[in-house]
Amino acid sequence: MPAISRQLIRLRVACYTRSTAQLTSRHWQWFALALLLAPAGIPIGALLRALAYPLDALFAAGHGLSWYFVYLLTTQALALAWVLPQRRPILGGAFMRYADALPIPRSARLAADLALLLLADSLLLGLLANGIVVSAFARAEPTALGIVSLLALLVLTLGFQLTALDRRWARLPLLALADSLFAVSLSTPSSHHAWAALGAALATGLAALRLRGHPSSAMRRTGTQRASGIRAWLPSFVGIQYDILKARPGATSLRLGLAAILAAATVRAGFFFEYDGRVLPLTILALAGIALVLSGFYRTLRAAHAPMHAYLAALPTGRRYWPLRDLLFVLILGIAPLIPLLPPLGRHFPATAWAGLALAYLSLLAALRLPLAIAGRQTALAALLLAGIWSGIAMAAVAR
């Protein structure tokens, strides 16, 4: 590897580890809570087999081409959800804005990007290694076709992650073609055809990684151009908030996706339990989780407004101008998860139950603005405590 590539990788790794350490120190409460909530008493073997199931399902025989293609896209979407919130540290942050002005070869930049992606995917690579080990113990030794298939899965997933991070969308057609060929190799019973399709998929994926392209023009638009589309139809302050979230697609998509998953899972569980007495407590817990997830937007919006405090102080807007509008904006976002939840509740429970629950949920979402204002570094812990107290009170009210 050329010296410039090694130097660039070393500097990028230092930037990434420093950003990760700062993030961990800011949110240590969540990591501690995850350890406390980790299920105890589960045998290690059963846990490892459960973690290996997604990989086992992907390489299991007996499914059709469309099933493999959709499952492959779902797996890659989860990998995207893992790296998108880390976009800035992975791409080098402020350091790479300086490095972009230097005559660094494109191969060195690509090597550094892939090295940082592999470092950021450490957890996913651990799950991949666990799947290989569990499969080796459960069946025979991995075949050459299986090993090359894992390599192809890694290359294609890295390709989609890199495309989402640097926004060189010209890679997408090649990556979609590679996914299709990979699905063909998994679904065909003939080993010769499987090898041919797999080789073509791997070659196409590698070609996509090497493809020269330019970042999306959306990254270079001026403020006037960005005002078109959705932004032009919104009030000025809502347009600013919309642009703030749009500038952070990874964190925004992750929060909205988690809220949608919680709402959908609650509706499905309600039908499974036939909307008996267990559904309301379950809905209360889901709404508390959704409120905690969406309350993260308060921090995002506040951090984006912070550099403008000195300028805003000179305007006749008042100190509560943005806090109140941010509160209204997050409450509007919080209404969306209620749309799938309320109709089934309305068919099985009295209006006082579901309407009171909806109002209580919006009150909790509004109250979760307070920890950010008064709790300082303990914001996450205070928000979790507040949501826990709300859940207990709501369950006690429902049980009466």
Summarised one tens digit per residue, pLDDT across range 169-217 is: 888 888 999 989 988 888 887 778 888 988 998 899 888 887 765 555 4
Q: Do residues 379 and 372 touch, judged by C-beta distance below 8 A?
A: yes
Helices 296-305 & 249-272 angle (0-180, nearest 10): 160
pLDDT in the model for residue 224: 43
pLDDT per residue as tens digits for the range 138-175: 555 556 777 788 888 888 988 888 888 888 888 888 89
Q: What are the structural domain ranges in the chain?
A: 3-24+42-215, 229-399
Q: What is the pLDDT of residues 85-112, one digit of tens each?
A: 888 888 877 777 777 767 777 778 888 8
How far apart CA 160 and CA 73 sit, in angstroms, is 10
DSSP 217: G
pLDDT of residue 46: 65
Q: What is the pLDDT of residue 193?
A: 84
pTM confidence score: 0.57
Q: What is the pLDDT of residue 363?
A: 93
List, for residues 247-264, the tens digit of each pLDDT value.
888 788 888 888 988 898
* Of the candidate ranges 21-30, 152-161, 219-228, the one whose mean pLDDT is the lowest: 219-228
Identify the pLDDT of residue 290. 92
Query: In this prediction, what percent of the chain has a pLDDT beyond 70?
Result: 82
Residue 219 clears pLDDT 70, i.e. is over it:
no
CA dist 279 and 281 (Å) reads 6
Among 46-55, 137-146, 182-191, 234-243, the minimum mean pLDDT is found in 137-146
Long-range contacts of 61-69 (CB under 8 A, 24+ apart): 61/189, 63/186, 63/187, 64/187, 65/183, 65/184, 65/187, 67/187, 68/182, 68/183, 68/186, 68/187, 69/179, 69/180, 69/183
